[in-house]
Structure 1
Amino acid sequence: MSYLELKQVTAFYGAIQALKQIDLTVEEGEIVTLIGSNGAGKSTTLKTISGLVPVKEGSVIYKGQDITSRKAHQTTKLGVAHVPEGRRIFPKLTVKENLQIGAFGVKDKKLIEERMEKVFSYFPRVKERLHQLGGTMSGGEQQMLAIGRALMMDPDLLMLDEPSMGLAPIIVEQIFHIIKELNDDGMTILLVEQNAFQALKVAHRGYVLQTGSIWRSGKGQTLLADPTITEAYLA
């Protein structure tokens, strides 16, 4: 049984079909990446898993449980953390307050502090900015904060939507280093990314989406070496 499985998932945005019978799996402890052009359905796939976009047909199975009809807050309680495209931090709240919101369901203050220290172990710069307003941070720092806020949930599955978008190359390298470090520490990760080279380099497996359908799939290194993939997404 796969950790996460999408079976023949179809989803719509209004009258527009965004996903067409998607089949994919994520095994425990993997990094699985979704790559493809704008409008391919990558972000929609994450949103259907988290409950932000309803599934029209098919099913989403998480750790053996059918979560197809779950609302977003219910999916979150099952241990699925979704870091959306564009970071979506609270700009007028401090870094500390943003992190605390990530642990909104936790009453134990000691546990919250422990989780915060764990976030700082991955993102020392976030600790340095603890009392700064989120909106005054750089783009890279905001991305670190967004991931840190998700980690405050202590999730079992971390879904990242375009974590490198708009960042300088040196910051992109740092973000992907942290993604690999999180996975090495046992985190299962589903990654949506337009930077196909970086994504496939760290991923165990990948799926290539085109206009709402899966076009190719395979091991990350295999896709990275595929000349068709290279020409379409890495050139």
Structure 2
Amino acid sequence: MSLLQLTKVETYYGGIQALKGINLTVNKGEIVTLIGSNGAGKSTTLKSISGLASVRAGSILYNELDITSMPAHQTSFLGIAHVPEGRKIFPKLSVKENLLMGAFSVKSKAVIQERLERVFQYFPILKDRQKQQGGTMSGGEQQMLAIGRALMLKPDLLMLDEPSMGLAPIIVEQIFDIIKELNEEGITILLVEQNAYQALNIAHRGYVIQNGDIKLQGLGYDLIKNDEVREAYLA
């Protein structure tokens, strides 16, 4: 069953066209990855979905609801959580305060506490560092914090933009293990990732985007074996 459907989506930054009519589908319960070179349109795709970039043409359906022109604060209420490239945590706020920002729409203290405990199960280090300023944590810890903040929304769709960027290999493994675990627990995931092998290895399906257009798509393991993909992204 389709959870997210992009049809002929065109997005511009001023006069520059970043997305050139892309078509993309994410089915409920999937991990779908979007790979491509820098500037190909990967981050713009996520921003178009979450309402951070203005779509000029085409349509975006989420649970059959048209969200094409919906602003970001409204898409979050629908259960779409976006972890942007560069983490974008609040560096002056404590770990706990950062996490609570992800539950801004929740009124029940009991529900908030329940979600905090769930995040701490995934990321025990965040429980140990609750009072520490977010900006003083390592890159890997900040990435965990950014994902944890998104989970406080209790999303149906989790969009991750370059979660492995700048992290040590052992931390990258931990992050991808958690992504798989989240998916196994029922969260649908749309993943943008420069580490194409890692991303395709855990993805049910993948798309290759070049110059704002989808050039290839297929099952994750099929794209790993594709000669064009291997030469461009896995060499």
Aligned identity (percent) is: 70
1:15 aligns with 2:4: no
1:160 maps to which residue?
160
Aligned pairs for 1:174-189 within 5 A: 174-189=174-189
2:74 maps to which residue?
74
2:195 maps to which residue?
195
* Structure 1 alignment gaps of length 5 or more: none
1:105-125 per-residue CA deviation (whole Å, 9 max, x = no partner) reads: 111111100000000111111
Give the whole-Å Cα distance in 1 for the aligned partners of 2:158 and 2:67. 16
3-state SS of the aligned residue for 2:55? coil
2:62 maps to which residue?
62
CA RMSD, 1 decimal: 0.6
1:45 counterpart letter in structure 2: T
> Could you tell me how far 1:228 is from its partner in structure 2?
1.2
1:121 maps to which residue?
121
1:5 counterpart letter in structure 2: Q
1:65 counterpart letter in structure 2: L
1:140-198 per-residue CA deviation (whole Å, 9 max, x = no partner) reads: 00000000000000111000000000001111010000000000111100000000000
Give the whole-Å Cα distance in 1 for the aligned partners of 2:121 and 2:3. 27
Give the whole-Å Cα distance in 2 for the aligned partners of 1:187 and 1:79. 10
* Structure 2 alignment gaps of length 5 or more: none
1:212 maps to which residue?
212
**Which sits farther off after the overlay, 124-133 or 207-216?**
124-133
1:161 counterpart letter in structure 2: D
Q: Which stretches of structure 1, 4 residues or longer, exceed 2 Å deviation after superposition?
A: none
Aligned pairs for 1:81-96 within 5 A: 81-96=81-96
1:2 aligns with 2:2: yes
1:140 aligns with 2:140: yes
> Could you tell me how far 1:51 is from its partner in structure 2?
0.6
Give the whole-Å Cα distance in 1 for the aligned partners of 2:129 and 2:223. 38
3-state SS of the aligned residue for 1:186? coil
Give the whole-Å Cα distance in 2 for the aligned partners of 1:165 and 1:4. 25
Name the TM-score, length of structure 1 as normaliser: 0.99
